[in-house]
Chain A
Amino acid sequence: MYCEPAFCVIIWHKKNKYILVNNMILDYIKSVLVIVPVYNESQNIDFILSDLSAVSGYDVVYVNDASADDSAEKLRAMGQRVVDLPINLGIGGCMQAGYKFAQKHGYDIAVQYDGDGQHCASEIPKLVKLIEDGYDYVIGSRFMDNTGYRSTAARRIGIRLLSLMIRILSGRYILDVTSGFRACNRDVINMFCEYYPRDYPEPEVAGALARKGYSVAEVSVVMRERQGGVSSIRVLKSIYYMIKVATAILFSYRCYPKKKGERKS
Protein backbone atom coordinates (compact mmCIF):
# COMPACT_ATOMS: atom_id res chain seq x y z
CA MET A 1 0.00 0.00 0.00
CA TYR A 2 1.34 3.36 -0.97
CA CYS A 3 1.28 5.95 1.70
CA GLU A 4 2.29 9.52 1.08
CA PRO A 5 4.88 10.67 3.58
CA ALA A 6 3.14 12.86 6.07
CA PHE A 7 4.74 15.97 7.41
CA CYS A 8 3.59 17.52 10.56
CA VAL A 9 3.84 21.22 11.30
CA ILE A 10 2.88 23.08 14.43
CA ILE A 11 2.03 26.70 13.82
CA TRP A 12 1.74 29.34 16.47
CA HIS A 13 -0.55 32.05 15.21
CA LYS A 14 -0.90 34.77 17.83
CA LYS A 15 -1.75 32.75 20.94
CA ASN A 16 -3.26 29.83 19.06
CA LYS A 17 -1.49 26.60 18.19
CA TYR A 18 -2.44 24.64 15.11
CA ILE A 19 -1.14 21.17 14.33
CA LEU A 20 -1.03 20.68 10.58
CA VAL A 21 -0.58 17.32 8.87
CA ASN A 22 -0.11 17.50 5.09
CA ASN A 23 -1.30 21.10 5.18
CA MET A 24 -4.61 20.18 6.78
CA ILE A 25 -5.53 21.39 10.22
CA LEU A 26 -5.57 18.26 12.32
CA ASP A 27 -5.86 19.77 15.71
CA TYR A 28 -6.17 23.10 17.36
CA ILE A 29 -4.70 23.56 20.78
CA LYS A 30 -6.67 26.00 22.85
CA SER A 31 -4.69 28.69 24.63
CA VAL A 32 -5.26 28.99 28.35
CA LEU A 33 -4.68 32.02 30.53
CA VAL A 34 -4.56 31.63 34.29
CA ILE A 35 -5.67 34.88 35.92
CA VAL A 36 -4.37 35.36 39.46
CA PRO A 37 -6.02 38.23 41.36
CA VAL A 38 -3.53 39.49 43.94
CA TYR A 39 -4.28 41.75 46.87
CA ASN A 40 -1.71 42.11 49.67
CA GLU A 41 -0.38 38.59 49.11
CA SER A 42 3.29 39.39 49.46
CA GLN A 43 3.95 36.49 51.84
CA ASN A 44 2.10 34.03 49.56
CA ILE A 45 3.82 34.88 46.29
CA ASP A 46 6.67 32.38 46.50
CA PHE A 47 4.18 29.64 47.29
CA ILE A 48 1.88 30.58 44.38
CA LEU A 49 4.75 30.74 41.91
CA SER A 50 6.05 27.30 42.88
CA ASP A 51 2.51 25.88 42.81
CA LEU A 52 1.81 27.27 39.32
CA SER A 53 5.20 26.23 37.96
CA ALA A 54 4.20 22.63 38.66
CA VAL A 55 1.74 22.70 35.76
CA SER A 56 2.99 23.62 32.30
CA GLY A 57 1.32 24.86 29.14
CA TYR A 58 -0.64 27.70 30.65
CA ASP A 59 0.13 31.40 30.47
CA VAL A 60 -0.25 33.25 33.74
CA VAL A 61 -1.15 36.87 34.35
CA TYR A 62 -1.23 38.43 37.80
CA VAL A 63 -3.69 41.23 38.43
CA ASN A 64 -2.54 43.36 41.33
CA ASP A 65 -5.52 45.17 42.86
CA ALA A 66 -3.55 48.17 44.19
CA SER A 67 -1.90 46.20 46.98
CA ALA A 68 -0.47 48.21 49.84
CA ASP A 69 2.50 45.83 50.14
CA ASP A 70 5.20 44.99 47.59
CA SER A 71 3.29 42.18 45.81
CA ALA A 72 3.59 43.77 42.35
CA GLU A 73 7.29 44.60 42.69
CA LYS A 74 8.03 41.08 43.89
CA LEU A 75 6.18 39.54 40.94
CA ARG A 76 7.85 41.84 38.42
CA ALA A 77 11.25 41.08 39.87
CA MET A 78 10.56 37.41 39.17
CA GLY A 79 9.73 38.22 35.56
CA GLN A 80 5.98 37.63 35.80
CA ARG A 81 3.36 39.46 33.78
CA VAL A 82 1.54 41.86 36.06
CA VAL A 83 -1.54 43.94 35.30
CA ASP A 84 -1.08 46.62 37.92
CA LEU A 85 -4.30 48.46 38.81
CA PRO A 86 -3.59 51.94 40.19
CA ILE A 87 -6.88 52.04 42.16
CA ASN A 88 -8.38 49.27 44.26
CA LEU A 89 -11.40 47.90 42.39
CA GLY A 90 -12.30 44.85 44.48
CA ILE A 91 -12.16 41.22 43.35
CA GLY A 92 -14.74 41.77 40.56
CA GLY A 93 -12.98 44.70 38.92
CA CYS A 94 -9.71 42.87 39.36
CA MET A 95 -10.98 39.74 37.59
CA GLN A 96 -12.59 41.82 34.85
CA ALA A 97 -9.18 43.35 34.13
CA GLY A 98 -7.87 39.80 33.73
CA TYR A 99 -10.71 38.88 31.36
CA LYS A 100 -10.09 42.03 29.33
CA PHE A 101 -6.43 41.04 29.11
CA ALA A 102 -7.47 37.56 27.95
CA GLN A 103 -9.82 39.02 25.34
CA LYS A 104 -7.23 41.48 24.03
CA HIS A 105 -4.60 38.77 23.66
CA GLY A 106 -6.98 36.26 22.10
CA TYR A 107 -7.04 33.50 24.69
CA ASP A 108 -9.62 30.71 24.33
CA ILE A 109 -9.92 29.77 27.98
CA ALA A 110 -9.49 31.84 31.14
CA VAL A 111 -9.02 30.27 34.57
CA GLN A 112 -9.41 32.12 37.84
CA TYR A 113 -6.86 31.03 40.43
CA ASP A 114 -6.99 33.01 43.67
CA GLY A 115 -3.76 34.53 44.95
CA ASP A 116 -4.35 33.50 48.57
CA GLY A 117 -3.08 29.99 47.94
CA GLN A 118 -6.42 28.20 48.48
CA HIS A 119 -6.55 26.72 45.00
CA CYS A 120 -4.30 23.93 43.77
CA ALA A 121 -2.67 24.48 40.42
CA SER A 122 -2.67 20.71 39.90
CA GLU A 123 -6.49 20.87 39.62
CA ILE A 124 -6.48 23.41 36.77
CA PRO A 125 -6.30 20.73 34.02
CA LYS A 126 -9.57 19.26 35.36
CA LEU A 127 -11.39 22.56 34.77
CA VAL A 128 -9.74 23.15 31.38
CA LYS A 129 -10.67 19.64 30.24
CA LEU A 130 -14.37 20.32 30.83
CA ILE A 131 -14.23 23.63 28.92
CA GLU A 132 -12.55 21.79 26.04
CA ASP A 133 -15.40 19.28 26.22
CA GLY A 134 -17.82 22.09 25.40
CA TYR A 135 -18.96 23.56 28.68
CA ASP A 136 -19.16 27.35 28.85
CA TYR A 137 -18.34 27.74 32.53
CA VAL A 138 -16.79 25.34 35.00
CA ILE A 139 -16.68 25.76 38.77
CA GLY A 140 -14.23 23.91 40.98
CA SER A 141 -16.33 22.67 43.87
CA ARG A 142 -15.31 21.85 47.43
CA PHE A 143 -18.49 20.06 48.36
CA MET A 144 -19.17 17.48 45.64
CA ASP A 145 -17.09 14.75 47.19
CA ASN A 146 -15.85 14.67 50.70
CA THR A 147 -12.62 16.52 49.99
CA GLY A 148 -12.03 17.30 53.61
CA TYR A 149 -12.69 21.00 53.31
CA ARG A 150 -13.88 22.49 56.56
CA SER A 151 -15.90 25.66 57.00
CA THR A 152 -18.23 27.14 59.57
CA ALA A 153 -21.86 26.10 59.84
CA ALA A 154 -23.10 29.63 59.16
CA ARG A 155 -21.13 29.82 55.95
CA ARG A 156 -22.39 26.44 54.80
CA ILE A 157 -26.00 27.51 55.45
CA GLY A 158 -25.43 30.73 53.49
CA ILE A 159 -23.97 28.83 50.56
CA ARG A 160 -26.87 26.33 50.69
CA LEU A 161 -29.41 29.18 50.61
CA LEU A 162 -27.80 30.85 47.59
CA SER A 163 -27.48 27.49 45.89
CA LEU A 164 -31.17 26.81 46.50
CA MET A 165 -32.08 30.24 45.14
CA ILE A 166 -30.14 29.62 41.93
CA ARG A 167 -31.76 26.19 41.65
CA ILE A 168 -35.26 27.65 41.92
CA LEU A 169 -34.53 30.39 39.39
CA SER A 170 -32.52 28.45 36.83
CA GLY A 171 -33.29 24.81 37.45
CA ARG A 172 -29.58 24.04 37.67
CA TYR A 173 -28.04 22.67 40.79
CA ILE A 174 -24.74 24.35 41.64
CA LEU A 175 -23.36 23.25 44.98
CA ASP A 176 -20.38 25.49 45.67
CA VAL A 177 -21.59 28.87 44.43
CA THR A 178 -18.95 30.85 46.31
CA SER A 179 -15.93 29.00 44.97
CA GLY A 180 -13.58 31.34 43.13
CA PHE A 181 -11.84 28.50 41.27
CA ARG A 182 -13.39 28.81 37.82
CA ALA A 183 -12.75 28.46 34.13
CA CYS A 184 -14.65 29.88 31.18
CA ASN A 185 -14.55 29.83 27.40
CA ARG A 186 -14.21 32.70 24.97
CA ASP A 187 -17.95 33.55 24.75
CA VAL A 188 -18.08 33.98 28.50
CA ILE A 189 -14.82 35.97 28.53
CA ASN A 190 -16.36 38.41 26.05
CA MET A 191 -19.50 38.73 28.18
CA PHE A 192 -17.47 39.31 31.33
CA CYS A 193 -15.59 42.12 29.57
CA GLU A 194 -18.96 43.83 29.06
CA TYR A 195 -20.28 43.26 32.57
CA TYR A 196 -18.77 41.72 35.67
CA PRO A 197 -20.03 42.50 39.19
CA ARG A 198 -17.66 44.60 41.26
CA ASP A 199 -17.98 42.93 44.68
CA TYR A 200 -18.93 39.35 45.60
CA PRO A 201 -19.20 38.28 41.96
CA GLU A 202 -19.08 34.49 42.32
CA PRO A 203 -22.67 33.40 43.11
CA GLU A 204 -24.14 36.19 41.00
CA VAL A 205 -22.24 35.21 37.87
CA ALA A 206 -22.89 31.49 38.29
CA GLY A 207 -26.63 32.17 38.69
CA ALA A 208 -26.79 34.59 35.78
CA LEU A 209 -25.04 32.23 33.35
CA ALA A 210 -27.22 29.29 34.43
CA ARG A 211 -30.38 31.38 33.98
CA LYS A 212 -29.30 32.51 30.52
CA GLY A 213 -28.91 28.93 29.33
CA TYR A 214 -25.13 28.62 29.37
CA SER A 215 -23.81 25.22 30.29
CA VAL A 216 -22.35 25.42 33.76
CA ALA A 217 -20.47 22.41 35.08
CA GLU A 218 -19.13 21.70 38.49
CA VAL A 219 -16.10 19.55 39.16
CA SER A 220 -14.83 18.31 42.47
CA VAL A 221 -11.49 19.79 43.48
CA VAL A 222 -9.29 19.72 46.55
CA MET A 223 -8.74 23.08 48.16
CA ARG A 224 -6.28 24.07 50.79
CA GLU A 225 -7.07 25.90 53.95
CA ARG A 226 -6.39 29.58 53.62
CA GLN A 227 -2.62 30.16 53.60
CA GLY A 228 -2.69 33.67 55.03
CA GLY A 229 -4.74 36.82 55.04
CA VAL A 230 -8.41 36.96 55.98
CA SER A 231 -11.49 35.97 54.02
CA SER A 232 -13.27 38.84 52.35
CA ILE A 233 -16.45 37.72 54.10
CA ARG A 234 -16.35 38.81 57.72
CA VAL A 235 -19.01 38.15 60.30
CA LEU A 236 -20.42 41.66 60.35
CA LYS A 237 -20.49 41.83 56.58
CA SER A 238 -22.27 38.52 56.10
CA ILE A 239 -25.79 39.97 56.31
CA TYR A 240 -24.93 42.63 53.75
CA TYR A 241 -23.31 39.88 51.68
CA MET A 242 -26.46 37.74 51.63
CA ILE A 243 -28.79 40.64 50.78
CA LYS A 244 -26.52 42.04 48.09
CA VAL A 245 -25.89 38.68 46.45
CA ALA A 246 -29.54 37.63 46.61
CA THR A 247 -30.62 40.90 44.97
CA ALA A 248 -27.91 40.50 42.37
CA ILE A 249 -28.96 36.94 41.54
CA LEU A 250 -32.54 38.14 41.12
CA PHE A 251 -31.75 40.95 38.70
CA SER A 252 -28.30 40.90 37.17
CA TYR A 253 -28.88 38.00 34.78
CA ARG A 254 -30.45 40.58 32.49
CA CYS A 255 -26.99 42.10 31.95
CA TYR A 256 -26.00 39.06 29.90
CA PRO A 257 -27.21 38.01 26.46
CA LYS A 258 -28.99 34.69 25.98
CA LYS A 259 -26.99 31.68 24.91
CA LYS A 260 -27.11 31.28 21.13
CA GLY A 261 -27.94 27.90 19.70
CA GLU A 262 -29.34 24.90 21.50
CA ARG A 263 -29.16 24.40 25.22
CA LYS A 264 -26.78 21.83 26.51
CA SER A 265 -27.89 20.04 29.60
Chain B
Amino acid sequence: MMSSSFQMILIGATGFSLIFTSVMIIRKQMRIKYSLAWFLLNLVLVVFAVFPGIVKRLAELMHIYSDTNTIFLIMIFILYCLCFGFSIALSRNSNRIADLTQQMGILQAEIDSLMGRENRQNKAS
Protein backbone atom coordinates (compact mmCIF):
# COMPACT_ATOMS: atom_id res chain seq x y z
CA MET B 1 0.00 0.00 0.00
CA MET B 2 1.07 3.55 -0.69
CA SER B 3 1.22 5.69 2.41
CA SER B 4 -0.34 9.15 2.35
CA SER B 5 3.02 10.74 3.11
CA PHE B 6 4.52 9.07 0.02
CA GLN B 7 1.59 10.44 -2.00
CA MET B 8 2.33 13.92 -0.68
CA ILE B 9 6.04 13.58 -1.56
CA LEU B 10 5.13 12.53 -5.11
CA ILE B 11 2.75 15.46 -5.58
CA GLY B 12 5.23 17.92 -4.05
CA ALA B 13 8.12 16.71 -6.22
CA THR B 14 5.91 16.86 -9.31
CA GLY B 15 4.83 20.41 -8.51
CA PHE B 16 8.44 21.48 -8.07
CA SER B 17 9.43 19.80 -11.34
CA LEU B 18 6.53 21.47 -13.19
CA ILE B 19 7.56 24.92 -11.96
CA PHE B 20 11.20 24.31 -12.87
CA THR B 21 10.32 23.08 -16.39
CA SER B 22 8.01 26.07 -16.98
CA VAL B 23 10.68 28.54 -15.84
CA MET B 24 13.22 26.96 -18.20
CA ILE B 25 10.75 27.23 -21.10
CA ILE B 26 10.01 30.90 -20.31
CA ARG B 27 13.76 31.62 -20.14
CA LYS B 28 14.07 29.91 -23.56
CA GLN B 29 16.60 27.45 -22.12
CA MET B 30 14.49 24.40 -22.95
CA ARG B 31 12.80 23.62 -26.23
CA ILE B 32 9.06 22.87 -25.96
CA LYS B 33 9.80 19.64 -27.82
CA TYR B 34 11.99 18.34 -25.00
CA SER B 35 9.78 19.70 -22.21
CA LEU B 36 6.87 17.53 -23.38
CA ALA B 37 8.63 14.40 -22.14
CA TRP B 38 9.01 15.90 -18.66
CA PHE B 39 5.39 17.07 -18.56
CA LEU B 40 4.30 13.55 -19.49
CA LEU B 41 6.48 12.10 -16.74
CA ASN B 42 4.98 14.50 -14.20
CA LEU B 43 1.47 13.68 -15.36
CA VAL B 44 2.07 9.97 -14.83
CA LEU B 45 3.40 10.64 -11.32
CA VAL B 46 0.40 12.82 -10.39
CA VAL B 47 -2.05 10.22 -11.65
CA PHE B 48 -0.30 7.54 -9.56
CA ALA B 49 -0.30 9.78 -6.49
CA VAL B 50 -3.97 10.78 -6.78
CA PHE B 51 -5.30 7.34 -7.74
CA PRO B 52 -3.29 4.70 -5.82
CA GLY B 53 -5.80 2.09 -7.02
CA ILE B 54 -4.21 2.15 -10.47
CA VAL B 55 -0.80 1.35 -9.01
CA LYS B 56 -2.26 -1.47 -6.91
CA ARG B 57 -3.90 -3.02 -9.99
CA LEU B 58 -0.64 -2.69 -11.99
CA ALA B 59 1.35 -4.31 -9.18
CA GLU B 60 -1.04 -7.27 -9.14
CA LEU B 61 -0.82 -7.58 -12.94
CA MET B 62 3.00 -7.62 -12.86
CA HIS B 63 3.16 -9.80 -9.72
CA ILE B 64 5.19 -7.20 -7.84
CA TYR B 65 4.97 -7.37 -4.05
CA SER B 66 4.91 -3.67 -3.29
CA ASP B 67 3.07 -0.76 -4.91
CA THR B 68 6.02 1.63 -4.45
CA ASN B 69 8.30 -0.79 -6.28
CA THR B 70 5.84 -0.73 -9.20
CA ILE B 71 6.12 3.05 -9.35
CA PHE B 72 9.93 2.82 -9.26
CA LEU B 73 9.96 0.24 -12.03
CA ILE B 74 7.66 2.28 -14.26
CA MET B 75 9.60 5.48 -13.63
CA ILE B 76 12.93 3.77 -14.35
CA PHE B 77 11.51 2.41 -17.58
CA ILE B 78 10.31 5.86 -18.68
CA LEU B 79 13.67 7.42 -17.73
CA TYR B 80 15.49 4.69 -19.63
CA CYS B 81 13.47 5.52 -22.76
CA LEU B 82 14.18 9.23 -22.29
CA CYS B 83 17.92 8.67 -21.90
CA PHE B 84 17.99 6.49 -24.97
CA GLY B 85 16.24 9.24 -26.91
CA PHE B 86 18.76 11.78 -25.63
CA SER B 87 21.69 9.58 -26.68
CA ILE B 88 20.27 9.52 -30.20
CA ALA B 89 19.64 13.27 -30.21
CA LEU B 90 23.16 13.88 -28.88
CA SER B 91 24.79 11.71 -31.55
CA ARG B 92 22.79 13.43 -34.27
CA ASN B 93 23.78 16.85 -32.98
CA SER B 94 27.42 15.81 -32.71
CA ASN B 95 27.35 14.71 -36.37
CA ARG B 96 25.77 17.97 -37.40
CA ILE B 97 28.35 20.02 -35.49
CA ALA B 98 31.17 18.03 -37.11
CA ASP B 99 29.66 18.59 -40.55
CA LEU B 100 29.31 22.33 -39.95
CA THR B 101 32.87 22.56 -38.58
CA GLN B 102 34.26 20.79 -41.63
CA GLN B 103 32.29 22.95 -44.06
CA MET B 104 33.52 26.05 -42.24
CA GLY B 105 37.13 24.92 -42.47
CA ILE B 106 36.86 24.14 -46.19
CA LEU B 107 35.15 27.45 -46.95
CA GLN B 108 37.83 29.28 -44.97
CA ALA B 109 40.54 27.57 -47.02
CA GLU B 110 38.78 28.58 -50.24
CA ILE B 111 38.36 32.16 -49.08
CA ASP B 112 42.07 32.25 -48.18
CA SER B 113 43.09 31.07 -51.63
CA LEU B 114 40.73 33.60 -53.30
CA MET B 115 42.09 36.44 -51.17
CA GLY B 116 45.64 35.35 -51.91
CA ARG B 117 44.92 35.45 -55.64
CA GLU B 118 43.37 38.90 -55.30
CA ASN B 119 46.38 40.18 -53.37
CA ARG B 120 48.73 38.86 -56.03
CA GLN B 121 46.69 40.56 -58.76
CA ASN B 122 46.69 43.84 -56.83
CA LYS B 123 50.46 43.65 -56.47
CA ALA B 124 50.89 42.90 -60.16
CA SER B 125 48.75 45.85 -61.31
Which of A79, A93, A100, A198 interacts with B106 by CB under 8 Å? A100
Spot the interface stretch: A41-49, A83-91, A135-143, A211-219.
Answer: A83-91
Residues 66-91 of chain A, each 1 if its beta carbon lies under 8 Å from chain B, else 0: 00000000001001011111110100
**Interface positions of B from 47 to 96, Cβ below 8 Å from A:** 94
Q: Whose C-beta in chain B lies nearest to the C-beta of A92?
A: B98
In the complex, the answer to whether B109 meets A82 with C-beta atoms within 8 Å is yes
Which residues of chain B are near A84, meaning CB under 8 Å? 105, 108-109
A100-B106, A104-B106 are known contacts. Are A87 and B101 too (CB-CB below 8 A)? yes
Q: Please indicate which of the listed interface residues A61, A64, A84, A198 has the most CB atoms of chain B within 10 Å of its own CB.
A: A84
A93-B98, A96-B98 are known contacts. Are A86 and B113 too (CB-CB below 8 A)? no
**Interface positions of A from 94 to 114, Cβ below 8 Å from B:** 96-97, 100-101, 104
Q: How far is the CB of B85 from chain A (nearest CB, A)?
A: 20
Q: How far is the CB of A63 from chain B (nearest CB, A)?
A: 7
Q: Main secondary structure on chain A at its contact with chain B?
A: mixed
In the complex, the answer to whether A86 meets B101 with C-beta atoms within 8 Å is yes
Q: How far is the CB of B21 from chain A (nearest CB, A)?
A: 30
In the complex, the answer to whether B98 meets A83 with C-beta atoms within 8 Å is no
Which residues of chain B are near A87, meaning CB under 8 Å? 97, 101
Q: How far is the CB of B90 from chain A (nearest CB, A)?
A: 13
In the complex, the answer to whether B102 meets A76 with C-beta atoms within 8 Å is no
In the complex, the answer to whether A81 meets B112 with C-beta atoms within 8 Å is yes
- What 8 pairs between A and B have smallest CB-CB spacing? A97-B102, A83-B105, A85-B105, A83-B109, A93-B98, A87-B101, A85-B101, A101-B106
Q: Which A residues are within 8 Å of any B CB, using their own CB? A: 61, 63-64, 76, 79, 81-87, 89, 93, 96-97, 100-101, 104, 198
